Amino acid sequence: MNLILLGPPGAGKGTQAKRMSAEWGLAHVSTGDILRDAAKKGTPLGLKAKPLMDLGQLVPDEVVNGIIEEWLKGPDAQKGFVLDGFPRTLPQAEALEKALSTAGMKLDAVLSFDVPEGTLVERISGRRSCPKCGSVYHVVEHPPARSGFCDKDGEALIQRDDDTAEKVKERNRVYEQKTAPLKAFYGEKGLLKAVAGVGTPEGIFAEIRRVLGKA
Ligand code: AMP
């Protein structure tokens, strides 16, 4: 099964992608994670992406398209995938279509997460993550056992550089302008499925199962 997750920052794409990957054995591909990792390591890709990410703006299409095109040629793509944070623009969606058709693959569904703005702000402002293993927490909804430290490896949790109120506003603006039009693009292809992204992570996962007919 090959899936795309669409939704504004804080919609829960990453959390649900991890669950879907664990439950169904799908590869979880997050372009945001790939770019943050490259930035941390200071690779040429990371050095190019970091200033844009810090402004809440998108990395150029050809850069992210290249990452996904390469990944699709690798062995993990064969087990099925959930794309989290890609595509984010129409040219990215078109590049993906081409790359999939070259690889003889197709999309099964595009899940679009609908979440009220107040919930998005709450989720993002309380989000903390482990720089070592990538585990994600929320200071109120999903706190670690020891405040400020990862349950899995004891590393000090951090707030993402782009999770501040001002940057979230810009990321939302970019989402509405560049990414939201993808709903119509995939809607016309009969692939779009709306997911009510409110409530507990378990409840939202049940809703995903339901819309995918895997209840
Ligand atoms: P995310 O973790 O998905 O919220 O992504 C964090 C940041 O990485 C975004 O605000 C962008 O700067 C960059 N990014 C991630 N995915 C893409 C993409 N598909 N196209 C362009 N920029 C991206």
List beta partners, residue 138. 127, 142
Please give the DSSP secondary-structure letter assigned to residue 172: H
Rg (CA), the chain: 17
Q: Which amino acid is at 53?
A: M
The pLDDT tens digits of the residues spanning 59-97 come to 999 999 999 999 999 999 999 999 999 999 999 999 999
Sole residue written with tokens 């040429």: 44
- Which of 33, 34, 53 is the best mutation target for the ligand 1 pocket, counting ligand atoms within 8 Å of the beta carbon and taking the most? 53
**Given the DSSP bridges, would you call strands 109-114 and 127-129 parallel, antiparallel or unpaired?**
unpaired
Q: What is the pLDDT of residue 41?
A: 95
Q: Which helix (H) or strand (E) holds 3?
A: strand 2-6
Q: What predicted TM-score, i.e. pTM, was given to this entire model?
A: 0.92
Whole-angstrom Cα distance, residue 179 to residue 127? 22
What the block records as the tokens of 131 is 């720089």
CB 144 within 8 A of CB 151: yes
Please give the DSSP secondary-structure letter assigned to residue 37: H
CA of 76 from ligand 1 middle (Å) equals: 21
Confidence of residue 214 (pLDDT cuts 50, 70, 90): confident
